[in-house]
Amino acid sequence: MLALTLTLSSLCLLLPATSFADTRLSIENTDSGENAQMQAVLVTRGKVRMEQGGDDDTLLLYFQEGNTFYAIQPSDKSYMEFDPEEAGAMMDQASQMQQQMMAQLQERMKDLPAEQREQMMEMMKRSGQTMPGSPEEPVRYESRSGSDTVGGFSCSWVEAYQGAQKVRELCLADPGSMGMASADKDTMTAMQTSMMALAKRLGNAGMFQDNMPDGFPVHVRHFDASGRLTSEQRVQGVSTDTLDSSLFELPAGYQKRELPSFPQQ
């Protein structure tokens, strides 16, 4: 579910205001060493549906009214309901537990030889983990020469760096070319704002950078600390055909499950 959420959020930037219409984004998502997976983002006024290719994969609904998310699990016919505050509190608990574990690990690492300590630090860096108190370097964007055409849209490449490390590259299309209705744009913007707030509570905004250049990212490529490509998302197309309203409703007969909780320390 997290990967699906991050994929959507990387694509929820400024979009044009046009006539009222529904929107369907088709996105190809590829992880390193795995086959490509198709994802879809469906938007109607006030609601968003995010789904992966499999019938049993978790899908996500967002209702702008009430600023509420629903994580739906077809495999066991259940769903979880949460708003950003509830999810944020859960993330805070998980983050505190992780920080405690990392602090304990840091204490144990003091007794290791310097070479082993450096090796462990490098492994943690590659996996995206940091020691308590480690500063998060701001992301900066640099334009690069060259353009491309993705999903039928012309785009220009920019590269994102944290320090000297390139963390991703994006091909940005002119927002005016995407054809999304103004109401759908407002709904996706509201959802993006909530997702950004959640991501920042984890201390790592990732794709959710305030200083991202204007434009719609139709192709995004992610890299690890060694420069290896880890995943990429590519827009395959955009449709504004009318969508069935039932796609944006909770399925009948599904049972509600409570959000997971973590023991207090």
pLDDT number for residue 117 = 72
Residue 73's SS3 state is strand
Q: Is residue 248 within 8 Å of 38, Cβ to Cβ?
A: no
Over pLDDT 70: what percentage of the chain? 70
188 part of a folded domain: yes
254 part of a folded domain: no
pTM: 0.69
Beta strands in 163-253 (DSSP E): 165-173, 216-223, 229-239
For the cut 70, the answer to whether the pLDDT of residue 200 exceeds it is no
For the cut 70, the answer to whether the pLDDT of residue 252 exceeds it is yes
Q: Quote the CA–CA distance of 26 and 158 in Å, as a whole number.
A: 22
Q: DSSP label at 57? A: S
Structural domain that includes position 72: 2-130+138-249
Q: Which residue has the tokens 């049972």?
A: 255
Confidence band of 221 (pLDDT split at 50, 70, 90)? very high
104 part of a folded domain: yes
13 part of a folded domain: yes
Mean pLDDT to the nearest integer, 131-138: 58
259 part of a folded domain: no
Mean pLDDT to the nearest integer, 114-134: 63
For the cut 50, the answer to whether the pLDDT of residue 205 exceeds it is no
More confident residue, 211 or 139: 139
pLDDT number for residue 34 = 72
More confident residue, 96 or 43: 43
pLDDT number for residue 54 = 66
More confident residue, 168 or 174: 168
151 part of a folded domain: yes
Confidence band of 236 (pLDDT split at 50, 70, 90)? very high
CATH code where residue 120 lies: 2.50.20.10
How do residues 25-40 score in pLDDT, each as one tens digit?
899 988 876 778 888 9
**Mean of the per-residue pLDDT values of the chain:** 77
Give the burial class of 111: count Cβ atoms within 10 A of its Cβ; 0-12 exposed, 13-18 middle, 19 or more buried.
exposed
93 part of a folded domain: yes
For the cut 50, the answer to whether the pLDDT of residue 1 exceeds it is no
Q: For the chain, what is the domain count?
A: 1
For the cut 50, the answer to whether the pLDDT of residue 256 exceeds it is yes
DSSP H helices in the chain: 2-11, 84-109, 114-126, 182-201
65 part of a folded domain: yes
